[in-house]
């Protein structure tokens, strides 16, 4: 029996770790195998071990687009030769393409847009990724997420989730200008989420539909606005039944009958808020001016007591 393990022995060991789901140990062994294959000049062996190592390193960077791009590059080098990941067998090229698609998914789903234009860009990019995943993966299961125990997701159900997120990004791009249209896009997103079987996200989208689709008449100025907490806000008030009754004729509510809060458009709410803020600051300054001489006087008294004590 040879004292040193051969490159293919180490490669087999790595495969065992992979089968057991110990990806960190598998990564170490594949890296060992790369070095051993290189030492004996086995380029094919090294290329293969390197591709497996790149896939294993995804376990440590499950949402890093660059890790997926690196894995894609390493897998491409294997061409159409078979790659066995756990129970699934695929090819280098097929897995490389999946890794590229997943890199785009990670990249665009994690983007937090800072402007309307970026929301539009995100919406468009996600729609493109959804189309690619539907046509290229289709009813097949995504191999890499399954390997890393993120569930058995088909291309079609991943495409639905991406389409939903695309609609949500589009909705967010419209909130400032057209909250009603934003609500409609959240409604479409809700539909895609339920078809993808994600009830939590479907409910969250439905809550946005209700919020952005809701319209009110400003209690103060009478403007009609849509988009609760965006373009109008509920404010605590003391409404009497007589005052409430006087507002009956309007088709849009100007208060919430449950809480008694009145609805204020952002313009009126802002004006009230800034005035209240200015008055509070003014009162505080007045109080401060009154109290400072008294504090100074007390300090002086304490100091003189201290001085007397020290003289004893």
Select 78 or 265, whichever has its Cβ closest to Zn ion: 265
State the nearest-atom distance from the C-beta of 231 to Zn ion, in Å. 10
DSSP codes joined into one string, the chain: --SSPPHHHHHHHHHHHHHHT-HHHHHHHHHHHHHHHHHTT-HHHHHHHHHHHHHHGGGT-TT-HHHHHHHHHHHHTTTTSEEEETTEEEEHHHHHHHHHHHHHHHHHHH----SHHHHHHHHHHHHHHHHHHHHHTTTSBPHHHHHTTS---BHHHHHHHHHHHHHHHHHHHHTTT-HHHHHHHHHHHHHHHHHTT-HHHHHHHHHHHHHHH-EEE-TTT--EEE-BTTTEEEE-----HHHHHTTTT-SS-SB-TTT-PEEEEHHHHHHHHHHHHHHHHHHHHHHHHHHHHHHHHHHHHHHHHHHHHHH-
Select 221 or 302, whichever has its Cβ closest to Zn ion: 221
Select 103 or 262, whichever has its Cβ closest to Zn ion: 262
State the nearest-atom distance from the C-beta of 177 to Zn ion, in Å. 18
Q: Is 123 in the site for Zn ion (CB under 5 A)?
A: no
State the nearest-atom distance from the C-beta of 208 to Zn ion, in Å. 23
Q: Which of 9, 25, 220, 237 binds Zn ion (CB under 5 A)?
A: 220
State the nearest-atom distance from the C-beta of 268 to Zn ion, in Å. 3
Task: Please give the residues from 288 up to 307 whose contact with Zn ion meets the rule CB under 5 A.
Answer: none
Select 223 or 244, whichever has its Cβ closest to Zn ion: 223
Distance CA 111, CA 127 (A): 14
Contact segment (CB under 5 A) with Zn ion among 50-58, 110-118, 158-166, 218-226 equals 218-226
State the nearest-atom distance from the C-beta of 233 to Zn ion, in Å. 10
Task: Please give the residues from 235 up to 274 whose contact with Zn ion meets the rule CB under 5 A.
Answer: 265, 268
Q: Is 163 in the site for Zn ion (CB under 5 A)?
A: no
State the nearest-atom distance from the C-beta of 267 to Zn ion, in Å. 5
State the nearest-atom distance from the C-beta of 219 to Zn ion, in Å. 7
Select 69 or 217, whichever has its Cβ closest to Zn ion: 217
Select 117 or 246, whichever has its Cβ closest to Zn ion: 246
Count of residues of this chain found to bind Zn ion when the rule CB under 5 A is applied: 6
Q: Which of 221, 278, 284, 295 binds Zn ion (CB under 5 A)?
A: 221
Q: Contact at 8 Å (CB) between 190 and 143?
A: no
Distance CA 73, CA 149 (A): 23
The CA-based angle 21-22-23, given to 5 degrees, is 95
Distance CA 242, CA 244 (A): 5
Select 277 or 297, whichever has its Cβ closest to Zn ion: 277
Select 122 or 217, whichever has its Cβ closest to Zn ion: 217
Q: Is 218 in the site for Zn ion (CB under 5 A)?
A: yes
State the nearest-atom distance from the C-beta of 157 to Zn ion, in Å. 45
Provide the binding-site residues for Zn ion, judged by CB under 5 A: 218, 220-221, 223, 265, 268
């Amino acid at each position: 029996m040879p004292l040193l393990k051969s490159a293919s022995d180490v490669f087999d060991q790595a495969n065992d770790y992979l089968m057991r789901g110990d990806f960190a140990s598998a990564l170490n062994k594949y890296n060992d195998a790369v070095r051993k294959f290189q030492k004996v000049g086995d380029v094919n062996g090294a290329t293969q071990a390197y591709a497996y190592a790149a896939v294993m390193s995804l376990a440590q960077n499950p949402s890093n687009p660059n890790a997926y791009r690196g894995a894609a590059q390493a897998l491409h080098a294997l061409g159409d030769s078979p790659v066995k990941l756990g129970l699934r067998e695929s090819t280098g090229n097929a897995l490389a393409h999946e890794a590229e698609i997943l890199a785009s998914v990670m990249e665009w789903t994690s983007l937090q847009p800072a402007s309307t234009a970026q929301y539009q860009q995100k919406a468009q990019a996600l729609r493109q990724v959804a189309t690619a995943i539907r046509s290229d993966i289709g009813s097949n299961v995504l191999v890499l997420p399954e390997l890393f125990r993120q569930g058995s997701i088909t291309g079609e159900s991943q495409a639905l989730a991406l389409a939903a997120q695309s609609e949500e990004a589009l909705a967010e791009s419209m909130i400032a200008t057209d909250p009603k249209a934003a609500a409609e896009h959240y409604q479409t997103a809700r539909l895609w989420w339920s078809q993808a079987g994600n009830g939590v996200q479907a409910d969250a989208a439905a809550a946005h539909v209700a919020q952005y689709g809701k319209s009110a008449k400003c209690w103060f100025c009478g403007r009609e606005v849509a988009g609760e907490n965006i373009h109008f806000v509920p404010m605590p008030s003391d409404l009497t039944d007589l005052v409430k009754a006087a507002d009956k004729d309007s088709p849009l509510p100007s208060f919430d009958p449950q809480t008694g809060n009145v609805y204020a458009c952002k313009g009126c709410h802002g004006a009230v808020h800034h005035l209240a803020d200015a008055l509070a600051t003014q009162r505080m300054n007045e109080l401060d001016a009154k109290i400072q001489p008294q504090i100074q006087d007390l300090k002086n008294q304490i100091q003189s007591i201290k001085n007397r004590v020290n003289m004893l």
